[in-house]
């Protein structure tokens, strides 16, 4: 699985490798955590994983559903400078190192544009094929990336800290858009309830239809509030399942994924065509005025 994820991360030969994958079970449930650096995402993931290993909370009158294995993907969009951050993530999640039911992996984009959005669905597919039922994706919330990673998740958790009320309105709006659950982490520090109030006021101004994101206060370092957070994730999952939104979201995601793959393939095809000898010949005859571009384009696309 580690080697397969390297191939996926690298981009080389990924499509061939992924083509051989099939889900052994249903697709994994994907929880995304995003937020600014240092907000406590890794600390929370570590706590969440420990708790989720004991079972996936059921409805109030339902027993906990077992969780066989959990995969963690720490995705860093700013790869060249992320060595230190990854090391910190590793240390924070160290206590799962001996747990065979937890697979932790850091992924970087190696700088190619769109690499992340391509690699993440493939990585989730690989984890699912390995029998992992729950995947947690941690990513730094920086603009477009968080939206892309949120698009790969069934439940997106946005992590903020006390003092968040001071951040830029535009940045706030972006996070508001992707959040299914808000976490005010570092609730041991002053300003946590103000941050929560600020969030609920923003939500009241832009009331979402259907699901209203709950706001959970946590202390990552002590584990306070983690049980509530996991229950809210489970509640959101039940909401998505009961309303049919999970299937709809996944269909939506599948469409976008396939569109991207088709677009990439067409792009490659374009370069194949324009690099071909037949294209060079067609250019000559067009320059000489002996043919029309439309007819030639059709022929080139059809069989070069």
Ligand X SMILES: Nc1nc2c(ncn2[C@@H]2O[C@H](COP(=O)(O)OP(=O)(O)O)[C@@H](O)[C@H]2O)c(=O)[nH]1
Q: Which residues bind ligand X (CB under 6 A)?
A: 37-43, 88, 92, 185-186, 188-189, 219-221
CB 55 → ligand X: shortest distance, Å?
A: 24
Among 9, 89, 148, 198, binds Mg ion (CB under 5 A): 89
Nearer residue to ligand X within complex by CB, 123 or 226: 226
42 binds Mg ion (CB under 5 A): yes
* Cα angle value 111/113/118 (rounded, 5°): 105
Q: Of 154, 213, 171, which Cα lies nearest the Cα of 32?
A: 154
- Count CA atoms closer than 13 A to 209's CA, side-chain side: 1
Q: Which does 128 bind (CB under 5 to 8 A by kind): ligand X, Mg ion, none?
A: none
257 binds Mg ion (CB under 5 A): no
Instruction: Give the distance between the most distant pair of CA atoms in the chain.
Output: 79
DSSP string covering 229-275, please?
HHHHHHHHHHHHHHHTHHHHHHHHHHHHHHHHHHHHHHHHHHHHHHH
User: Which residues are CB-neighbours of 110 under 8 A, at least 6 positions away?
Assistant: 9, 10, 11, 79
Contact 147, 115 (CB under 8 A): no
CB 47 → Mg ion: shortest distance, Å?
A: 13
Q: Which does 190 bind (CB under 5 to 8 A by kind): Mg ion, ligand X, none?
A: none
Q: How many chain residues are in contact with Mg ion, going by CB under 5 A? A: 3
CB 138 → Mg ion: shortest distance, Å?
A: 6
CB 148 → ligand X: shortest distance, Å?
A: 18
The 3-state DSSP class for residue 125 equals helix
Q: Which does 91 bind (CB under 5 to 8 A by kind): ligand X, Mg ion, none?
A: none
Nearer residue to ligand X within complex by CB, 21 or 224: 224
76 binds Mg ion (CB under 5 A): no
d(C-alpha 158, C-alpha 244), whole Å: 23
d(C-alpha 280, C-alpha 240), whole Å: 54
Nearer residue to ligand X within complex by CB, 117 or 161: 161
217 binds Mg ion (CB under 5 A): no
Nearer residue to ligand X within complex by CB, 63 or 84: 84
CB 187 → ligand X: shortest distance, Å?
A: 6
The 3-state DSSP class for residue 103 equals strand
Positions of E strands within 21-114: 29-35, 70-76, 102-108
CB 75 → Mg ion: shortest distance, Å?
A: 10
Return the residues of window 141-160 that contact Mg ion according to CB under 5 A.
none
User: Which residues are CB-neighbours of 176 under 8 A, at least 6 positions away?
Assistant: 202, 203, 206
CB 163 → ligand X: shortest distance, Å?
A: 12
Nearer residue to Mg ion within complex by CB, 89 or 257: 89
Name the residues that contact Mg ion, by CB under 5 A: 41-42, 89
């Amino acid at each position: 699985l580690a080697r397969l994820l390297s191939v996926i991360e690298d981009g080389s030969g990924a499509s061939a490798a992924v083509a051989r994958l099939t889900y052994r079970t249903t697709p994994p449930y994907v929880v995304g955590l995003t937020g600014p650096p240092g907000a406590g995402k890794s600390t929370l993931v570590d706590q969440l994983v420990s708790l989720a290993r004991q079972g996936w909370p059921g409805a109030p009158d339902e027993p906990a559903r077992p969780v066989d294995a959990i995969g963690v993907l720490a995705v860093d969009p700013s790869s060249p400078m992320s060595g230190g951050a990854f090391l910190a993530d590793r240390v924070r999640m160290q206590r799962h190192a001996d747990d065979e039911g937890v697979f932790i992996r850091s992924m970087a984009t190696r700088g190619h544009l769109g690499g992340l959005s391509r690699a993440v669905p493939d990585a989730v597919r690989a984890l699912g094929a390995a029998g992992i039922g729950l995947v947690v994706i941690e990513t730094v919330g920086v603009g477009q990336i968080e939206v892309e990673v949120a698009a790969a998740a069934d439940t997106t958790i946005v992590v903020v800290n006390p003092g968040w009320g001071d951040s830029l309105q535009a940045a706030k709006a972006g996070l508001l858009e992707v959040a299914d659950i808000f976490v005010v982490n570092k609730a041991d520090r002053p300003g946590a309830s103000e941050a929560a109030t600020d969030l609920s006021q923003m939500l009241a101004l832009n009331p979402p239809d259907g699901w209203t994101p709950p706001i959970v206060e946590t202390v990552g370092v002590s584990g306070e509030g983690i049980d509530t957070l996991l229950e809210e994730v489970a509640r959101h999952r039940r909401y998505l399942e009961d309303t049919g939104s999970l299937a709809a979201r996944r269909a939506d995601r599948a469409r976008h994924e396939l569109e991207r793959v088709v677009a990439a393939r067409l792009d490659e095809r374009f370069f194949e065509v324009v690099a071909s000898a037949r294209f060079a010949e067609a250019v000559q005859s067009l320059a000489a005025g002996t043919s029309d571009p439309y007819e030639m384009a059709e022929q080139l696309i059809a069989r070069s």
